[in-house]
Amino acid sequence: MPAIIVIGTQWGDEGKGKATDQLGDRIDYVVRYSGGNNAGHTVVVDGERYALHLLPSAILNPSCIPVIGNGVVVDLDVLFAEIDALNGRGCDAGRVLVSANAHLIAPYHQVIDKVTERFLGRRRIGTTGRGVGPAYADKVNRIGIRVQDLFDPDLLRDKVAASLEQKNQLLVKVYNRPAIGPDEIADRLLGHADRLRPMVVDASLLLNRALDQGRVVLLEGAQAHHLDVDFGTYPYVTSSNPIAAGACTGSGIGPTRIDRVIGIAKAFTTRVGEGPFPGELLDEVGDRIRDDGGEFGTTTGRPRRIGWFDALVVEQAVRVNAVTDVVLTKLDTLTGWDRVRIVVGYEIGGVRHDVMPLSQTDIHHAQPIYEDLPGWNEDLSGCRSFGELPAAAQAYVRRIEELIGCRISGIGVGPGREQWVSLHDLL
């Protein structure tokens, strides 16, 4: 049975949570493979809104086993707060499994994240301040703390003390902040050990055996292609690999076991944080789309930057990730416009570009080239088949397919789980 990857094809916030939840009752395992609680997935079930940051979105489907893979950095305070919040709302969140090799976000990672971001000034990245980047930096520098370290208290205390030797020098002498006591940090982390212990597994072994047994495994990305540390708009990116290839390293499932890659794209474009955005709308048009779509960050609450659909952005993601199906979300947000626009190229120094430029300098200076299409005024929220969409909305979808080079297999027409148009089966 298949292993399926769900990724974002823009700069995040595309609606991956909704798409994952759509598949939830048909899959056996859902795996978060990258990022931390800097992610924000919003899912609406029976009129109830759930904001998830660390837990996989399909946890709301009781038949699905959620797994936090080795590629994730885990804030244990957030993990248990989310579990308790879901349990308090009548959802069974007690079946979460966590890879023994996942790395932990310690309180000092959050401190480092916030002070360094402030120190950067106008060169700031726009991080969420959750400690994700510093935790990944420690992982790469081989001074990180793994989940399994919680069960060897002496080793954990040694690792925390070693990590803080350098960090305290930085905090005190560069940032004028007080030193952090290693015992306090170690005690706080060890306080979670007993509750965490029954959740810890060899995730790679578990998932590969599940595939051998004919189970369906869905790998849920956080952030998106253009926030990838290798392929995104560097340096304004996250600190991990949310692309499809990252699903293999972040879960322990080999690439030959992946059957399908589902790319999620909004019917327009948004971005949170700093970095280039060639088609950004800094006018009343952008304000209207933001208000109509409720485009405010799930994790930070920050207003999202808005633009019309950028085909170059999504085409690159489709190409690099070998996307087999695209899900187009929030098509209903564009109702009420006389015309809708698509970015079909960039003008850079008098030269037209029909694919994403390689140079970050070129992306920064790019001016969007638009193609205008007729808009529509019909309410899409009740549509359940492609033929029920207004002709103009159908033409908009088909034109996007042509430009990105991939079929659109699902369309979101509202926030609810049932507000969905299926063109092709995703499993």
- Residue 51's DSSP bridge partners are 42
The letter for the amino acid at 47 is G
Q: Annotated catalytic, 41? A: yes
Q: DSSP E strands: which ranges in 46-102?
A: 48-52, 65-68, 73-74, 97-99
Look up residue 267 and give its two tokens. Answer: 């019917």
Phi, psi of 31, rounded to the nearest 5 degrees: -125, 125
Cα angle 86-88-89, degrees, rounded to a multiple of 5: 65
Q: DSSP E strands: which ranges in 14-102?
A: 29-32, 41-45, 48-52, 65-68, 73-74, 97-99
Q: In sequence order, what are the residues at sequence separation of 6 or more whose Cβ sits closer than 8 angstroms to the Cβ of residue 199?
A: 96, 97, 98
CA distances to 321, 387, 390, 399, 402 from 406, in Å: 12, 20, 22, 11, 7
- Helix axis angle for 107-120 and 182-190, nearest 10°, is 120
Q: Annotated catalytic, 152? A: no
The separation between CA 111 and the C-alpha centre of its own chain, rounded to angstroms, equals 23
The letter for the amino acid at 126 is G
Of 13, 21, 149, 310, which is the active-site residue?
13
Of 41, 53, 109, 225, which is the active-site residue?
41
Task: Tell me if 217 sits within 8 A of 258, measured CB to CB.
Answer: no
Tell me the residue length of the chain.
Answer: 427
Burial 43-55 (b: 16+ CB within 10 A, else e): bbeeeeebebbbb
Q: In sequence order, what are the residues at sequence separation of 6 or more whose Cβ sits closer than 8 angstroms to the Cβ of residue 7?
A: 16, 221, 224, 225, 242, 243, 244, 247, 261, 262, 263, 264, 317, 321, 323
Q: Order of strands, edge to edge, in the sheet holding 408-412?
A: 200-201, 97-99, 65-68, 29-32, 217-220, 3-8, 258-266, 325-329, 408-412, 420-422
Q: How far apart are CA 246 and CA 163, in angstroms?
A: 26
Per DSSP, 106 falls in state: P
DSSP states along 279-315: TB--SHHHHHHHHHHT-B-TTT-PBPEEEEEEHHHHH
Which sequence positions are flagged as catalytic? 13, 41
